[in-house]
Structure 1
Amino acid sequence: MDRWQAMRVFVKVAETESFARAARDLHLSAPAVTRLVAGLEALVGARLLVRTTRSVKPTEAGARYLQDCRRILGDIAEAELAAAGHYAKPVGTLAITAPLLLGQLHVLPLVLDYLERYPDVRARTFFVDRPVNIVDEGMDIALRIGHLADSGLTAIQVGCMRRVVCAAPSYLATRGVPGTPAALRDHRVLVSHSAWSSLEWRFAGGQRVVVEPLLHSNTNAAAISAAENGLGLTRVPHYQIAQALADGVLQLVLEDHEEAPLPVNLIYPEGRQAPAKVRAFIDLAVAGLRSNPLFNPRQ
């Protein structure tokens, strides 16, 4: 039995929770997949997977073995890539994830520059407003806003990001400018749960205000559009409205009450040595983002 192939099949079955799906993804017959997993279980002397009526799940021993298999297969892949020269020259496909608007506005231009510089590389972007497990979802690099949990990932801070409250000048001329966070209770509030699902807005000095939104949207873009049209106040990351502020479409309020900016980090899986395609993009992105005034805390 090819132990490497058996481990690869076991990982695919555990991840897809299906012998049939694993067989299709790996271009193997269903009996071959079943035989390889059975052989692996006989080799390690433990039941690794248990079938339910709807799916296949790892046993307790299987879950531990799954982690080891992923690590071992990753080491093999690193060794093969190193032998093929992937660590000397950027080649292959680079997968990058970031929050939706952050990705569209500030990561995509870096990706386009990167592709111009390194013609042997292809890129895949995944811009979405939800946490992405970059290992499980096959990402090479992620750009994250906020404090990071402890993990086995490498992180490089590229700046900080303000969270700001804003409204259209027409709204403020009609309804007045709130002088304190508590004054938000007397205003129309537009909320998006893509970035902050809580209706409790926090400010410097431990100030907290529970807002009652006139509009509750699932995207920041919708809340910003409503604010631009004079419907009320909204709270979003500063970079998302920078152009609207420069154009005078929106105006900041409560600047003296802002919480400390959130850190912005590039993260990528830790290994003995990152592939050249990752190192090259990290170098380019760190320089580009750190030089962007939107990614520096307000002085």
Structure 2
Amino acid sequence: MDRWQAMRIFAKVAETESFAETARLMHMSAPTVTRIVASLEDLIGARLFVRTTRSVKMTEAGTRYFDDCRRILADIAEAEAAAAGSYATPAGTLAVTASAMFGQMYVLPVMTEYLDTYPTMGGRTFFVDRPVNIVEEGVDVAIRIGHLPDSGFTAIRVGSVRRVVCGSPGYFEKHGVPSTPADLKAHRVAASTSAWASPEWRFAGDQRVTIDAILQCNTNEAAIAVAKEGWGLTRVVHYQIGPALIAGDLQIVLADYEEPPLPIHVLYPEGRHAPAKVRAFVDLAVSRLRENRLLN
């Protein structure tokens, strides 16, 4: 008996829950499928299916064997694909998601470099400020900020982000630099309601300050623009003001009081079985994001 073929047939019966459907999909006769599964059961020494006139269900032993078969068959498929070259060259379309502002500022340059490197590839981006279900929405790679729940996906940490209070040098020359979180009450604040809906700003050591923001902006970009103009202070995630920090348009204050930073991960579902298009993008994204000093 061809053990590999028998495992393929068994796995297909487990997926379809039908000997007849398996026979049709694999271009075999139903009696042949039945015979091969029975021979496999004899070889293993355990019943893999419970058969009735109306259904085919796996036994407990069959369920365990099915998990092992899927892993073994995937390893074989990957080895064959690698030998044939299909896993060596990226092909198709790559879908990537990230939060809106982070995606535009830091992920989009990675995507365009990736597409320049692999001109036969296509790309799609989903830069939105909401959780994206990677599997249901057909996304290949996600860049996530924050602590990740257990998902079974592969996650590679590439940096971290801080919640920071910032203002322009001109503003600090006129109004002074706050030395403690409590000093913020004496300063004008433009708050971004999209990121900081709560008027309570939290700092290290469980310090909390209720901010009476004179100006409330519905986007981070607007709050940052106001701060750059020297009108007042704002609080954002530090990657959002990276270019302004480099240009000297903004500076961070109260750094000693910041909460612990949030991690940034590159996340993808297939692990070591990921196709070449995913692995190539992940390698590039990890390299580019880790070397960005604003994210570390």
Is this a same-fold pair by TM over 0.5? Answer: yes
Distance (whole Å) between structure 1 residues aligned to residue 104 and residue 268 of structure 2: 20
Please tell me whether the aligned partners of residues 156 and 267 of structure 1 are also in contact (alpha carbons under 8 angstroms): yes
CA distance in 1, matches of 2:56, 2:236: 52
SS at match of 1:263: strand
* Other-structure match for 1:31: none
* 2: CA distance, partners of 1:188 / 1:44: 70
Structure-2 residue corresponding to 1:274: 274
Deviation of residue 231 (structure 1)? 2.3
Deviation at 1:114, TM superposition (A): 0.8
The question of whether the paired residues in 2 share the 8 Å contact of 1:134 and 1:140 is answered with yes
TM-aligned CA distance change 1:44 to 1:183, over 3 Å? farther
**Distance change in 2, residues 1:247/1:88 (3 Å):** closer
Task: Give the partner amino acid of 2:136.
Answer: D
Match of 2:202 in 1: 202
Work out whether residues 143 and 264 of structure 1, in 8 Å CA contact, stay in contact via their aligned partners in 2.
yes
- Secondary structure of the residue aligned to 1:202 is strand
Higher mean Cα deviation, 266-275 or 233-242?
Answer: 266-275
Paired letter, 1:250: L
SS for the counterpart of 2:268 is: strand
Query: Matches of 2:201 and 2:56 in 1, distance apart?
Result: 53
Q: Which residue type is aligned with residue 289 of structure 1? A: L
Instruction: Measure how far apart 1:115 and its partner are.
Output: 0.9
Report the residue type matching 2:237 in the other structure: P
Secondary structure at the residue paired with 1:148?
Answer: coil
What residue is the counterpart of 2:250 in the other structure?
Answer: 250
Corresponding residue number in structure 2 for 1:88 = 88
Tell me: CA distance 1:174–1:273, structure 2 relative to 1, closer, same or farther (3 Å): same
Deviation at 1:162, TM superposition (A): 2.0
Q: Which residue of 2 aligns with 1:229?
A: 229
- State the SS of the aligned residue for 1:165: strand
CA distance in 2, matches of 1:218, 1:167: 18
The 5 A counterparts of 1:162-201 are 162-201=162-201
Note the C-alpha offset of 1:175.
Answer: 2.5
1:97 corresponding residue in structure 2 = 97
1:96-118: CA deviation from partner (whole Å, max 9, x where unpaired)? 11112211111111111111111
2:121 paired with 1:121: yes
Stretches of structure 1 lacking an aligned partner (at least 5 in a row): 6-41, 46-71
Task: Evaluate the alpha carbon distance shift between residue 243 and residue 271 of structure 1 in structure 2; reply closer, same or farther with a 3 A threshold.
Answer: closer
The residue type paired with residue 90 of structure 2 is: P
Counterpart of 1:286 in structure 2 is 286
- The CA deviation string for residues 212-239 of structure 1, in whole angstroms up to 9 with x for no partner, is 2222222111110111122211111222
Aligned match of 1:265: 265
For residues 195-217 of structure 1, give each alpha carbon's deviation from its aligned partner in whole angstroms, at most 9, with x where no partner exists: 33332212122211121222222
In structure 1, the residue matched to 2:28 is none
Which residue does 1:149 correspond to in 2? 149
Q: Tell me the alpha carbon deviations over residues 66-99 of structure 1, each in whole angstroms, 9 at most, x when there is no partner.
A: xxxxxx9xx99xx79x869643321010001111
Which letter maps to 1:194?
Answer: S
> Equivalents in 1 of 2:149, 2:116: separation in Å?
34
CA deviation vs aligned residue, 1:155-189 (integer Å, no higher than 9, x gap): 10001112211012232233321110111122222
Aligned equivalents of 2:113 and 2:266: distance in 1?
17
Structure 1 Cα separation of the partners of residues 56 and 133 of structure 2: 29
Distance (whole Å) between structure 2 residues aligned to residue 129 and residue 85 of structure 1: 37
- CA distance, structure 1, for counterparts of residue 176 and residue 96 of structure 2: 43
**Separation in 1 of the partners of 2:237 and 2:229?**
19
Conserved? CA contact 1:152–1:270, under 8 Å: no
The DSSP-based 3-state class of the residue aligned with 1:150 is coil
Following superposition, the deviation at residue 193 of structure 1 comes to 3.2
Aligned to 1:238: 238
CA RMSD of aligned residues (A): 2.9
TM-score, length-scaled by structure 1: 0.69
Identity of aligned residues (%): 60
Alignment of 1:15-54 (within 5 A): none
Offset at residue 152 of structure 1 (A): 2.2
